[in-house]
Every structure is written in structure tokens, then in C-alpha cells.
Chain A
Amino acid sequence: MKKTQYMIAEFENPAELLKAAEKIRDAGYKKFDCHSPFPIHGMDDAMGMKRSPLGWIVGLVAVVAVTAGVVLQWWTSSVAYPIVIAGKPFFSYQAYGPVAFAIMVLTSAFVSLFGMLALNKLPQFYHRLFDSDRFGKVTDDGFLISVEADDPQFDVKKTEDLLKQVGGKNVEIIG
């Protein structure tokens, strides 16, 4: 497995982290991430992140699921095993509504959850960043930025200077 190198830097507080993220974004970096103990308002914009495609994926799946729900009920109640219930026609689409709806919602909920995990590459039990002792602070009071060495903009000297210039402390290379 190819090992990615990271350069990390620590920041004082969420506001500093946000400002630093904006500057790194403006410097043209794409493969970098911000780490904090809690979500920071406006971070998506500061990092220049695109909107997640998850909504469209779920939407597409929902259309398939609702169709499948109707087809399933049509097939079971008017083709495979037709029974007259309450004198209603075999194809009683009104009655299909709630079940088709429920199938759609359930499927969409699963796709939302597992799609989110997949897009975030989770679960992931180990990450190279954990090699740094400093990185553990991120679950407590640490605000860090990590830049991947794979980023085309990456250059050991220049990136270190940039991180220091935007207020980063304790810059270190992992890996």
C-alpha cells in the first residue's frame, strides 16, 4: 500500500483555524483537511468544499424504491395471488400508497446513512495521522490542519512556510 505523507499544524482556536483554512484554500490546495473537536460554522465554505452529491444519490434511489414498492404490491395482489379484499379491485393503487411510501423512506434512510459513511470512507479504524501524538488533542482541545503530500501544490519548504504564515504552530511531517 502506498503511504501518504501528511504535514500537520496546530492552531489556537476555531476562528484561527477557519482563517487559515481560507488562506490554504486560496493558495490552491485541494487535498487538505481541518480537524476540530466540534463542527465549525462556515468551515465548508472556508475549505472550498463542494456540496455533497448524497442528496442526488438518495433521490435517485428513492425513485427506484417507490417504483419497486408499487410493482411489488401490484404483482403480489393482482398477478401472483389475487384476492378480493373488501370488494376493492385487485389493482387498488390507493392502498399501495402507504406501503410504497414506507419502502421509499426506509430505503432512502439506509442509503443516506450508508452512503454518507461510504462517501466519508468510514468506518476506518486506523489513519496515518494517528501516528502523531499531537493529533490526539483533536478530540479534546486541538485545532489542526493536515495537508497531504500528494497535493500538487505540496512542497516541504513552501507548505511549511505557508502553514506558519497563517498562524500554524508545531508544524510536523508524518510518515
Chain B
Amino acid sequence: MQDYRLTDKNIIGKPALIVGVAGLALSMIGYFMDPKQFFYSYLVAYVFWTTLALGGLFFTLLHHLTGAEWSTVLRRISESVMVSFPILAVLFIPVALGMHDLYHWTHTDVVVNDKILSAKAPYLNVTFFIIRTAAYFAIWSLLSWRLHKLSLEQDSNPSPELRKKFRKISAPGMLLFAVTITFAGFDWLMSLDPHWYSTIFGVYVFGGSLLAIYSFLIIFGLMLRKRNILQDTITVEHYHDLGKFLFAFTIFWGYIGFSQYFLIWYANIPEETIWYLYRWEGSWSIITMIIVLGHFLVPFILLMPRANKRNLKFLNFMAVWIFVMHWIDIYWLVIPNLHQQGFQLSWMDLTLTLGIGGLFMYWFWRKLSANALVAINDPSLEISINFTNN
């Protein structure tokens, strides 16, 4: 029996930390140059990595809740992604400090003279916003910490009782997840344009999160495979399944995105259409078209054939493609509120994404490399390793 532990633990750890610290330090210069741009870029980068962590939480919850067998070999990776919530909670501080620049509804003088905003004030006010965000992180951290801890317990003590415990946490956990990700989407992203509202917005963010985690699992798994780690454990069959999920949630994301657009287009009410108008003005229409084609149509067609999902090189390319598209999607949700005339990339978009990503990956790697790379005592591990799609 293998012990599934890494022999070389320095593959990602230090380089990621260096990138993270350097990225954030460089961005600090940007903060003094253009604080508004800094906070917007920060929000894009921050939400991008947070959605990945949320995807990891969902993947783990779903795994336990459905009693899935195929994904057992991937569980430890998704668990290590989701235990990053405490770090992300700390990294939220700059967003909280930049609220005045980011969120229009924090300006009391504006709210007083605005009928709609003053009606929304009982919900959209700084205190309640901070309380809600704290609650999201409390729930996410607690859920992921409990599940991760139990999972590590299983490594030393293969008690069948654990499976029940996993499920007991996951069932209410899934409900809490659904509510919190919806409201986090409302609070962090939708309230950037406080007059506008869309009830499906949370589901849209959820769809993006799942694309993030499935593409991340493919990219990361194949990176390990290149170094001959877990190459016989995570097989082409698992990648095929991840590819199926990537395909399925590409459709899901497209379906939700279209549903949101379609109802607003049909009703044609100015306070709703304005959101799309901003994203269709000037060069923003290019980004919108890139998203329609690159986030939906291209992956939808290219991921359809079975052979493409089983071709690991191609799947890796598609996963990277979708991972980047997810970033562009978040960018498209946030930045039109800052640059209304047309899109304008800032160097801080890059440095902050790398900065937060570096810290995220450092923490992820630290958690992953400290333990066995798969849940060694899970009763379905054998089944998962030998799983085939036929």
C-alpha cells in the first residue's frame, strides 16, 4: 500500500509565497497612485479566488452528500482548496477598507437624496454588510474546517461512523452554502450598482465558481501527473468525468447567464437594462462578445465529443481556457462600474490576481502537502481508483 505522501514538498510552496508577496507589494504602489483602481482590481482578484474556494467547498459537500465514489481520489485536493477561507477572510480587509470607493451606497449624502437607495438602506448599510460578510466567512470556515478535520481523522482511524458524520454536516452545509453564496454575490458584486437587481445573480456566481473548481482540479491534477505524482491514482477516467462536469456547468452557466439577460431584454425596463447597456457601450461590447463566445459557445462545442474530454492535453488546454474566462467574467461584472466609457486593463488587475493567487496557492499547498494526497482510509478509495466510464 502506498502512503500517498509527497517526497518533494517544495514544488509550489515557496514560489507561490514569493509571487504572492511580490504581487501585493507591487500593488501597494498602485494604491498610492490610484486608490480607486486599486480597490476595483482588488475586488476582481479577490472574488476570483474566493469563488474557487467556494467551488472547492461545493465539490466536497456534493461528494459527501451523494456518496460519490469516483471523486474520492480528488477529495483531498478540493478539501485543501476550501480550507483557505480563514486566509480569504483576512484578505477581505482591503475590500472593507475600500468600501467607500467601491460601493456607491456607502455615501450617506447620496443615499439621503435617493429614494431607492434610502429604501434599500436597512439592508445596504456598512454595519450590516460587514456583519453579513463575517457571517459568510464564519459559516464557510466552520464547514470546511470541520469536514477537513474529519477527513484527516479518517486517515488515522478508518471508522465507518465517519461517513455518517460527513453527511450530517454536508446536508445542512449545502443549504447554508446555497444561501450564503447567493447573498455574497448580491453583496460583493451586485451592490456595486445598487439600483440594479437580478434575483438569479447568485446562481450566476455559483455557476462560475463550479467552472473554477472543475478547471482547477484538471489543471492541478495534470500538473502533478507531469511530475509523476498520483498518475496511477487520478486516471484518464477521472479527467473524463471532470471534463463532463466542465461541459455540464458550461451549459449551466450559459443557461443562467442567458436567463438573466433574456428576462431583462424582454421586459425592457430602464432600471434593469442599464446594467447591460454599460456592458455594451464602447469597447465593453468586445468583452461581452468574448464572454458569450469564449465562456459558452467555444467550450460548449469543443468539450462535447468524448474523445476531446479523454485527450488530457486538450482537456488541460480547455481547463486553462475556462479558468481564464472565469476571470474575465468576474472582471466584466466588476469593472464596468469603474470605467464606464470602455474597458481599460490596469497593471494592478494582473499583480493583484497574482498576489492574492500566490497567497492562496501557498496556503493550499501547505495544507495539501502536510497530509496524504488522497483520503487513504476512505472505504471507496479502491473503487475510485479502479473506476471506469464504460
Residues of A whose CB lies within 8 Å of any CB of B are 42, 44-45, 51, 55, 59, 86-88, 94-95, 97-98
Contacts and interface: CB of A to CB of B under 8 A. Distances in A.
A87 B268 contact: yes
Interface string B239-266: 0000000000000000000100110011
Contacts, number: 19
Contacts of B390: 42, 44-45
A95 B266 contact: yes
Given A51-B306, A97-B262, 4 more contacts: A44-B390, A45-B390, A94-B265, A94-B266
A59 B304 contact: yes
Contacts of A97: 258, 262
A98 B266 contact: no
B206 to A, nearest CB: 22
Interface of B: 258, 261-262, 265-266, 268, 304, 306, 388, 390
A128 B265 CA distance: 61
A86 B358 CA distance: 50
B304 A98 contact: no
8 contacts: A42-B390, A44-B390, A86-B268, A88-B268, A94-B262, A94-B265, A94-B266, A95-B266
A98 B262 contact: yes
A58 to B, nearest CB: 11
Residue from the set B258, B262, B390 with the largest chain A CB neighbour count within 10 Å? B390
A86 B266 contact: yes
A55 B266 CA distance: 35
Contacts of A44: 390
A59 B304 CA distance: 9
A97 B258 CA distance: 9
A17 B342 CA distance: 67
A90 B10 CA distance: 62
A174 B157 CA distance: 59
A30 B165 CA distance: 51
Contacts of B258: 97
B250 to A, nearest CB: 15
A44 B265 CA distance: 49
A87 B266 CA distance: 10
A95 B265 CA distance: 9
Contacts of A42: 388, 390
Nearest to A87: B268
A97 B261 CA distance: 12
B200 to A, nearest CB: 15
Nearest to A43: B390
B9 to A, nearest CB: 39
A44 B390 CA distance: 8
Contacts of B261: 94
A86 B258 CA distance: 19
Nearest to A92: B265
Contacts of B266: 86, 94-95
A78 B306 CA distance: 39
